[in-house]
């Protein structure tokens, strides 16, 4: 019996249609559904993997008929077919109406009819209704006719600021594909076209910009409906997303130039400093396609299909992630990326090469992508031209899958200011700092890990600027001020001059601070404060020492695990930790155990995707879930500790039992290694529960280090990577300060010391306050060490205690900042 699959955007609709069809066809009809998405917040949508699974469940040697509702249901079903590869034989995507088609198909399938007959019955499903009601054709929209296969046409003037660029073009194509009609579009203003509305590349290549009039022509039974839907879409300006509101930089600036001057784009200040240079978007490192003779076109074609399916899953995952973090509109650009994967200009061209030229899947795909991207490069509108980068990066993703290689890394080919939608910490760590003069991102908050890294690398950065950044053309001259969170496009000479003056003044200030950096930092009343460095690689330890660090207060060891295919071995880790410790010349090295997960994914750990990864398996939770991972690292640390001054701490501890379990693994590791080397054991205070139970945790810990980046995120309920809540991410909120105070008093009950290694430790204005709260160690990105040491030397313990007392009574972070400015 033929199997039937119902694909719908709505779970309930799919189930309802199936219920009705079973009612008519009988309970034993092979009927499966793929309805909605498995995302509680976004239940409406379709998912190619769900469709593929439903097809597999409905599988029958007689074939499977797939019925879909509209738009992306059709796209997802087509993608599912691609993923099925050779198994798609006997699966038919049918254009029949969903409800009537399903009922007719169920009845016919039950009779044991072949697939063609079941499909034919489904297609004729509307017959009964038409006969009963008589044919009624809806009024054609403006200027349209629908007689005997003639085209139904519509003319509209495009009002979008960048015309039919990738995102609105994607909406156009998705809408057009929801009907039984073939749709074409012409640009009447520049006399280009017609282009097939099924191809994003073909539509984008028309070069439709603001004010152009386009003519849309549809043919086929669904032409009238297609034109009506497209007219409604055009009236909504193709659902183009307005620029995301940039976070409020309140024109608060460190230098003399206000962010409001010269119409700057504003974002969150992420790494201080001024930078100038042409706008540069990173491109994927070019993957080498090995020369190989293709012997079997069918297997090359299926290798291409499998890679397209895998890339689609990657992009869908990225889409879901961005939608969660930055909202659905920001994620829509991924719709365009998904359309590339089924675009005839690319996929069709690659397939034709495989068949006609006997080329390999990799060669065919690479050439098809490059030819199409070169055509995008030739477009007149700079904004549209810049989308070639998107196409190349999607192309590289597919190519990596074909070649079975790691996903390609991004690289800046020429020096300048790097522009990106968002950056992972791994991307940021890999960039050649000689080429990256500054960084600007669409998304991200000031304590996201990419921002943290930019600070350690001393690269000025502005994050969370919003979609306005997409308007910046490749090569356009930019100036950025990382302290003000401002980006100027084509800055005037006058403005650039003033920024340079600010830059020179800041350099003079930091030179004078550096002069005293090597000396220990004591408050005016003689209290020593350890000023240490945050590092991510052993090589940074020497630079830290050179810039005056009293040791390393946070080695984010996860960076050793990134940018590679597999875990570093115990020996590799031992060598790295020993090397960092040796560079410190007897000063302490504090290693934080692996803190992977959330915004620091490590692909080869294959962590399950989570609805709320920041609240999921991250930090110590991963170490306890996979004890061998943690044990290996702890053995490496203990081996490196022989004859060296090492400290170790566990990230994201929320309960004492977690700490005890981690310590038990440490004890076992110690027994395995057979060492008596002494290592101080600490806890990162990043979760409010840990701060509030510090007195209890202190019984199993030698020290605490407060990770204010996460502590702020979890106390104020602000995702540190989400630019829309970036203005709330301030560790000086009295709620966070109170938790530091509670931690210090819990630690003091057993004589333990408390440090701070979150980003607030790098802010010299906060130094007196942290000292006043009882913190005795501050750890920060290397460039901040000198100025924080200066701030320590200007602080008196007695005054700072009084200051801390007043800050704890404030209502919010701006009030605390005002208090600090008043002294
Ligand atoms: C913190 O959370 O403050 C911290 C130092 O850890 P990370 O920024 O690496 O999460
Ligand atoms: Mg943290």
**pLDDT of 51-78, one tens digit each?**
999 999 998 989 999 999 987 788 889 8
- Burial letters 378-405, b for 16+ CB under 10 A, else e: ebebebbbbbbbbbbbbbbbbbbbbbee
Between residues 782 and 23, the one the model is more confident about: 782
Q: Which residue has the higher pLDDT, 139 or 319?
A: 319
Please determine, for residue 141, whether its predicted confidence score (pLDDT) is greater than 80. no
Predicted local confidence at residue 640, as pLDDT? 98
Q: What is the pLDDT of residue 40?
A: 78
- Residue 487: its H or E element: strand 486-489
d(CA 44, CA 37): 6
SS3 state of residue 478: strand
Q: 386 or 806: which carries more pLDDT confidence?
A: 806
H or E segment at 235?
A: helix 223-235
Cα(533)–Cα(584) distance, integer angstroms: 11
CA atoms of 637 and 551, how far apart (whole Å): 17
The angle that helices 166-176 and 223-235 make with each other, rounded to 10 degrees, is 150
Q: What pLDDT, on the 0 to 100 scale, is given for residue 481?
A: 94
Q: Which two tokens stand for residue 598?
A: 């959330």
Which protein residue's CA is at the shortest distance from atom 9 of ligand 1? 556
Highest mean pLDDT among 78-92, 123-137, 694-708: 694-708
* Helices then strands, each counted (H, E), the chain: 33, 27
In this structure, of 174-183, 356-365, 425-434, 740-749, the range with the lowest mean pLDDT score is 425-434
Q: Which numbered atom of ligand 1 lies nearest the CA of 708?
A: 3
Ligand 1, atom 6, lies closest to the CA of 707
Residue 815 has pLDDT above 70, yes or no: yes
Atom of ligand 1 nearest to the CA of 686: 2
260 has pLDDT over 60 = no
Q: What is the reported pLDDT for 245?
A: 41
CB 531 within 8 A of CB 514: no
Q: What is the pLDDT of residue 148?
A: 44
The residue whose CA is least distant from atom 3 of ligand 1 is 707
Lowest mean pLDDT among 51-55, 722-726, 727-731, 750-754: 722-726
Q: Please give the angle made by the CA atoms of 576, 581 and 587, to the nearest 5 degrees.
A: 165
The answer to whether the bond into 194 is cis (omega within 30° of 0) is yes
Instruction: Please compute the mean of the pLDDT values over residues 363-375 and round it to a whole number.
Output: 93
Residue 554 has pLDDT above 70, yes or no: yes
Q: Is the dihedral of CA 388, 394, 397, 401 positive or negative?
A: negative
Q: Which ligand is nearest to the CA of 729?
A: 1
Tell me the pLDDT band of 664, cut-offs 50, 70 and 90: very high
- What DSSP line would sit under 240-287, residue for residue? PPPPPPPP--TT--SSSS-TTGGG-EE-EEEE--EEEEEEE--EEPPP
Distance 623 CA to ligand 1 centre (A): 17
Rounded to the nearest angstrom, the distance between the alpha carbon of 644 and the centre of ligand 1 is 25
Q: Which ligand is nearest to the CA of 715?
A: 1
| Torsional class of 514: left (φ above 0), alpha (ψ -120 to 50), beta (otherwise) | alpha
How much distance in Å is there from the Cα of 707 to the middle of ligand 1?
5
User: For residue 494, is pLDDT > 70?
Assistant: yes
Distance 687 CA to ligand 2 centre (A): 9
Nearest CA to ligand 1 atom 4: 707
Q: Active-site residues: which are they?
A: 449, 757
Give the HSE-up count for residue 150: Cα atoms under 13 Å, Cβ half-sphere: 10
Choose among 225, 239, 79, 76: nearest CA to 172: 239
Token pair listed for 367: 């050439």
- What is the share, in percent, of the chain residues with pLDDT greater than 90? 54
Residue, of 582 and 112, whose pLDDT is higher:
582
Q: Which atom of ligand 1 is nearest to the CA of 651?
A: 6
Confidence of residue 138 (pLDDT cuts 50, 70, 90): very low
Q: Contact at 8 Å (CB) between 391 and 340?
A: yes
Q: What is the pLDDT of residues 160-215, one digit of tens each?
A: 877 887 778 888 988 898 888 999 999 999 888 899 888 888 888 888 988 999 99
Lining residues, ligand 1, CB within 6 Å = 452, 554, 556, 595, 686, 707-710, 757-758
Among 425, 445, 683, 684, say which to mutate for ligand 1: greatest number of ligand atoms within 8 Å of CB.
684
* pLDDT for res 623: 96
For residue 142, name the pLDDT band (cuts at 50, 70, 90).
very low
Q: Which two tokens stand for residue 500?
A: 């340079």
- Taking the CA of 758 as reference, the closest ligand is 1
- For residue 737, the CA-to-ligand 1 centroid distance in Å is 16
- The answer to whether residue 549 scores a pLDDT higher than 90 is yes
Dihedral Cα 335, 337, 343, 347, nearest 10 deg? -140
Say how many Å lie between the CA of residue 130 and the centre of ligand 1.
65
Confidence of residue 326 (pLDDT cuts 50, 70, 90): low
Taking only the tens place, the pLDDT of each residue in 38-47 is 777 778 888 8
Residue 706 alpha carbon, nearest atom of ligand 1? 3
Task: Using the mean position of ligand 1's atoms as its centre, give its distance from the Cα of residue 192 in Å.
Answer: 53
Reported confidence tier of residue 682, pLDDT bands at 50, 70, 90: very high
Q: Which of 249-263, 331-345, 633-647, 679-693 has the lowest mean pLDDT?
A: 249-263
Q: What is the pLDDT of residues 444-486, one digit of tens each?
A: 888 777 788 788 788 999 998 987 888 888 899 999 999 899 9
pLDDT tens per residue, range 607-633: 887 888 899 999 999 999 999 999 999
Which of 672, 605, 604, 606 has its CA nearest to residue 636?
A: 672
Half-sphere exposure of 466 (CA within 13 A, CB side): 21
pLDDT at 500: 93
Going by alpha carbons, the residue nearest to atom 1 of ligand 1 is 707
User: From the alpha carbon of 759, which atom of ligand 1 is closest?
Assistant: 3
Beta carbons of 309 and 505 less than 8 angstroms apart: no
Residue with tokens 């497209």: 230
Residue with CA nearest ligand 1 atom 8: 709
Q: 77-81, 124-128, 350-354, 635-639 — which one is most confidently predicted on average?
A: 635-639
Tell me the whole-structure pTM to 2 decimals: 0.59
Higher pLDDT, 776 or 122: 776
Q: What is the mean pLDDT of residues 218-229?
A: 92
Q: Give 624-635 as a 3 state SS string.
A: HHCHHHHHHHHH
pLDDT of residue 506: 84
Which ligand gives the minimal distance to the CA of 592?
A: 1
pLDDT the model gives residue 599: 79
CA of 537 to the centre of ligand 1 (A): 16
Percent of all residues in the chain with a pLDDT value above 70, rounded to a whole number: 93
pLDDT at 327: 63
Pocket test for ligand 1, best of 556, 561, 713, 754 (most atoms within 8 A of CB): 556
CA distances from 169 to 164, 237, 317, 738 (A): 5, 11, 22, 51
Rounded Cα distance between 442 and 338, Å, is: 20
- Residue 510's pLDDT band, with cuts at 50, 70 and 90, is confident
Measured between alpha carbons, how far is residue 233 from residues 158, 240, 332, 539 in Å? 11, 10, 15, 55
Average the pLDDT over 23-33 and give the result.
87
Write the DSSP string, 397-418: HHHHHHHT-PPPPEE-SSSEEE
Task: Please give the backbone phi and psi of residue 105, each rounded to the nearest 5 degrees, phi first.
Answer: -65, -40
Q: Best of 707, 731, 779 to mutate for ligand 1, by most ligand atoms within 8 A of CB? A: 707
User: Which ligand lies nearest the alpha carbon of 451?
Assistant: 1
For 372-470, strand residue ranges (E) read: 410-411, 416-420, 436-441, 461-463
**Interval 675-700 mean pLDDT:** 97
């Amino acid at each position: 019996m033929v199997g039937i699959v119902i694909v719908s955007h709505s779970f309930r609709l799919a189930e309802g249609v199936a219920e009705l069809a079973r009612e008519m066809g009988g309970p034993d009809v092979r009927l499966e559904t793929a309805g909605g998405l498995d995302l509680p917040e976004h239940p409406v949508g379709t998912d190619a993997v769900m469709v593929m699974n439903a097809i597999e469940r409905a599988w029958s040697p007689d074939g499977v008929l797939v019925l879909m509702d509209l738009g992306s249901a059709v796209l997802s079903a087509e993608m599912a077919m691609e993923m099925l590869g050779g198994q798609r034989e006997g699966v038919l995507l049918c254009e029949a109406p969903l409800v009537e088609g399903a009922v007719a198909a169920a009845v016919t399938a039950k009779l044991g009819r072949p697939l063609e007959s079941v499909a034919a019955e489904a297609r004729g499903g509307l017959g009964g209704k038409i006969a009963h009601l008589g044919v009624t054709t809806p009024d054609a929209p403006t200027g349209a006719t629908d007689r005997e296969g003639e085209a139904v046409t519509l003319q509209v003037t495009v009002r979008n600021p960048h015309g039919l660029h990738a995102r609105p073009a994607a909406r156009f194509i998705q809408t057009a594909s929801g009907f039984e009609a073939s749709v074409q579009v012409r640009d009447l203003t520049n006399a280009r076209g017609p282009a097939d509305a099924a191809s994003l590349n073909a539509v984008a290549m028309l070069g439709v910009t603001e004010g152009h009039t386009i003519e849309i022509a549809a043919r086929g039974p669904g032409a009238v409906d297609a034109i009506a839907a497209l007219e409604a879409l055009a009236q909504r300006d193709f659902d183009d997303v307005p620029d995301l509101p940039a976070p409020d930089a309140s024109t608060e600036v460190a230098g003399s130039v206000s962010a409001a001057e010269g119409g700057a784009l504003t974002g969150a200040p992420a790494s201080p400093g001024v930078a100038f240079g042409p706008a540069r978007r990173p491109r994927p490192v070019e993957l080498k396609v090995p020369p190989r003779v293709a012997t079997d076109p069918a297997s090359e074609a299926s290798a291409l299909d499998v890679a397209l399916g895998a890339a689609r899953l990657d992009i869908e995952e990225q889409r879901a992630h961005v939608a969660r973090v930055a909202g659905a509109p920001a994620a829509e650009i991924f719709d365009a990326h998904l359309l590339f994967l089924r675009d005839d200009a690319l996929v069709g061209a690659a397939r034709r090469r495989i068949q006609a030229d006997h080329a390999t899947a990799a060669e065919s795909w690479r050439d098809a992508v490059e030819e199409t991207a070169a055509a995008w490069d030739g477009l007149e509108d700079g904004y549209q031209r810049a989308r070639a980068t998107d196409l190349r990066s999607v192309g590289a993703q597919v190519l990596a899958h074909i070649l079975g290689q790691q996903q390609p890394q991004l690289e800046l080919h020429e020096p300048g200011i790097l522009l990106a939608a968002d950056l992972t910490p791994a991307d940021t760590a890999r960039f050649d700092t000689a080429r990256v003069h500054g960084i600007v991102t669409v998304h991200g908050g000031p304590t996201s890990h990419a921002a943290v890294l930019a600070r350690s690398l001393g690269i000025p950065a502005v994050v969370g600027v919003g979609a306005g950044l997409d308007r910046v053309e490749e090569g356009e001259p930019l100036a950025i001020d990382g302290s003000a969170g401002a980006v100027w496009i084509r800055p005037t000479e006058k403005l650039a001059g003033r920024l340079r003056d600010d830059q020179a003044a800041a350099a003079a200030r930091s030179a004078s601070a550096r002069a005293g950096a090597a000396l220990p930092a004591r408050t005016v009343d003689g209290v020593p404060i350890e000023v240490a460095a945050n590092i991510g690689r052993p090589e940074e330890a020497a630079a830290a020492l050179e810039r005056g660090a009293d040791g390393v207060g946070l080695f984010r060891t996860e960076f050793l695990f990134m940018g590679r295919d597999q875990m570093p071995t115990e020996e590799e880790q031992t060598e790295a930790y020993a090397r960092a410790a040796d560079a410190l010349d007897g000063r302490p090295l504090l290693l934080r155990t692996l803190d992977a997960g959330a915004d620091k994914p490590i692909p080869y750990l294959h962590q399950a995707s989570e609805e709320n990864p920041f609240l999921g398996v991250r930090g110590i939770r991963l170490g306890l879930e996979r004890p061998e991972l943690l044990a290996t690292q702890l053995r490496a640390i203990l081996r490196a500790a022989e004859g060296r001054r090492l400290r170790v701490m566990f990230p994201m501890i929320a309960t004492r039992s977690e700490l005890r379990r981690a310590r038990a693994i440490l004890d076992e590791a110690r027994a395995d290694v057979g060492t008596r080397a002494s290592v101080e054991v600490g806890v990162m205070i990043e979760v409010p529960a840990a701060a509030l139970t510090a007195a209890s945790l202190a019984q199993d810990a030698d020290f605490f280090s407060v990770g204010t980046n996460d502590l702020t995120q979890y106390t104020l309920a602000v995702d540190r990577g989400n630019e829309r809540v970036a203005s709330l991410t301030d560790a000086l909120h009295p709620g966070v300060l109170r938790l530091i105070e509670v931690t210090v008093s819990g630690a003091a009950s057993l004589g333990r010391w408390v440090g701070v290694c979150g980003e607030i430790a790098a802010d010299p204005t906060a130094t007196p306050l942290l000292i006043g709260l009882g913190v005795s160690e501050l750890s920060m990105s290397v460039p901040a060490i000198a100025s924080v040491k200066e701030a320590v030397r200007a602080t008196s313990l007695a005054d700072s205690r009084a200051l801390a007392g007043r800050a704890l009574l404030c209502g919010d972070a701006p009030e605390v900042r005002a208090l600090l400015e008043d002294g």
